[in-house]
Amino acid sequence: PPEDALIDALDGRPFAIRVRPDLLTRAVADDLIARGCVVIELDALTLDDGVLKTMRRRYSGERVRAVLRALDGRVRRGIVLTT
């Protein structure tokens, strides 16, 4: 997630962020949304658990899906996948 100083510099303007699923907690999402975040993109890379493990990511495909479900209706959501 972006540092507080970066968000403060936006002076209340709406913004979008890209964040890894393992770094986005409910509390962080709540704070971002309260401060003007209108889009959260998850930098998931893939939903394939085997590939995620090989890449030494600390989350699963189900974690990505769960985060997307938790954000539904609260903020526009996106996902970044790599082939």
**pTM, entire model:** 0.88
The CA angle 30-3-80, to the nearest 5 degrees, is: 70
Q: Write the pLDDT tens digit of every residue in 5-51.
A: 999 999 989 999 999 999 999 999 999 999 999 999 999 999 999 99
Distance CA 44, CA 66 (A): 12
Distance CA 48, CA 59 (A): 10
Q: Write the pLDDT tens digit of every residue in 59-82.
A: 999 999 999 999 999 999 999 998
The DSSP code sequence of 36-64 is TEEEEEEEEE-S-HHHHHHTT-S--HHHH
